[in-house]
């Protein structure tokens, strides 16, 4: 079963939920797809067994080019500019789609790999963990996310820590999940971003529910919205000094407050039931 953890905005505690859920269940794999800022390894402190580079194929223009301009005309991302006697490629804009080499009438384009990040494979106790890391200055997070997603182990309960927001890397992270947990805070800002996230997850057709983190702050807006939209509130985690203290010390709070493991397991059983009914 694949459960993705997402949120419309950063700082809601998505990684905390992913890590604590992974620690509460048996036979889990954690895929940290928040490749611009992977944090789950800070809490789990895995031993990394392997690192693999993630490359993107980008065009290299050869001598056969006659500057016809076809490649620049077809590139949707403006990654190629053709001048009267020169072709300029902007690798940081290239999505590696390969269209330019397909349309080149002179067969002048070779696709060459360009390193944009890496994935790390390791273990933390019984948890298998894979996380991606986008190189500083690189803009294309999605290929690194996809490389992490390819590591999905069908024999395990897979927990995906998605990046914040609702952009392409988020879609690449949550697509194909059996269930998505949307993490939010009970504040007007949390509600605003939650509504956008709900729209996206509904479009993807993934069953989902809401986990309210830092409950007790803010207002009732998130609860009223979930009630009106018939969205399940799966769990509430209070704004609690002890939880905050463990978090700031890089400790997953279920390790020190084991009663929470049972609550995460109950939530998991509820999720399994919903996913089963929908399938």
Contact set with ligand SF4 (CB under 6 A): 59, 61, 65-71, 75, 77, 79-80, 82, 87, 94-100, 104, 106, 108-109
**Identity of the residue, 71 or 129, whose beta carbon is nearer to ligand SF4 in the bound complex:** 71
- List the one residue out of 116, 111, 171, 173 whose CA is nearest residue 140: 116
**Identity of the residue, 91 or 165, whose beta carbon is nearer to ligand SF4 in the bound complex:** 91
Element (H, E) at 229: helix 221-229
Least distance between ligand SF4 and beta carbon 118 (Å):
21
The answer to whether 182 and 174 have CB atoms below 8 angstroms apart is: no
Collect contacts of 202-206 with beta carbons under 8 A, ≥24 apart.
204/171, 204/174, 204/175, 206/4, 206/174, 206/177, 206/178, 206/179, 206/180
**Identity of the residue, 106 or 261, whose beta carbon is nearer to ligand SF4 in the bound complex:** 106
Least distance between ligand SF4 and beta carbon 84 (Å):
11
**Identity of the residue, 168 or 251, whose beta carbon is nearer to ligand SF4 in the bound complex:** 168
What length does the chain have?
279
**Identity of the residue, 18 or 61, whose beta carbon is nearer to ligand SF4 in the bound complex:** 61
| SS3 state at 214 | strand
* CB atoms closer than 10 angstroms to residue 115: 11
Least distance between ligand SF4 and beta carbon 72 (Å):
7
Least distance between ligand SF4 and beta carbon 215 (Å):
44
- List the one residue out of 77, 45, 82, 52 whose CA is nearest residue 65: 82
Least distance between ligand SF4 and beta carbon 52 (Å):
22
């Amino acid at each position: 079963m694949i459960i993705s953890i997402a949120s419309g905005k950063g700082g809601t505690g998505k990684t905390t939920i992913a890590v604590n859920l992974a620690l509460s269940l048996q036979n889990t794999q954690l895929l940290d797809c928040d490749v611009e800022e992977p944090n789950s390894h800070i809490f789990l402190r895995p031993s990394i067994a392997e690192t693999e580079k993630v490359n993107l194929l980008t065009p290299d223009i050869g001598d056969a080019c006659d500057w016809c301009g076809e490649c620049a005309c077809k590139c949707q991302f403006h990654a190629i500019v053709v001048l009267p006697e020169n072709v300029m490629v902007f690798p940081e804009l290239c999505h590696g789609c390969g269209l330019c080499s397909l349309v080149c009438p002179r067969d002048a384009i070779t696709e060459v790999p360009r390193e944009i990040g890496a994935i790390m494979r390791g273990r933390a106790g019984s948890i298998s963990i894979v996380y991606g890391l986008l190189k500083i200055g690189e803009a294309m997070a999605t290929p690194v996310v996809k490389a992490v997603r390819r590591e999905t182990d069908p024999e395990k309960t897979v927990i995906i820590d998605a990046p914040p927001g609702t952009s392409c890397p988020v879609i690449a992270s949550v697509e194909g999940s059996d269930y998505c947990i949307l993490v939010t805070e009970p504040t007007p800002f949390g509600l605003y971003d939650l509504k956008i996230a709900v729209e996206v997850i509904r479009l993807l057709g993934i069953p989902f529910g809401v986990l309210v983190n830092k409950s007790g702050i803010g207002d009732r807006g998130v609860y009223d919205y979930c009630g009106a939209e018939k969205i399940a509130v799966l769990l509430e985690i209070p704004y609690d000094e002890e939880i905050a203290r463990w978090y700031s010390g890089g400790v997953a709070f279920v390790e020190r407050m084991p009663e929470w493991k049972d609550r995460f397991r109950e939530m998991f059983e509820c999720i399994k039931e919903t996913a089963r009914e929908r399938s």
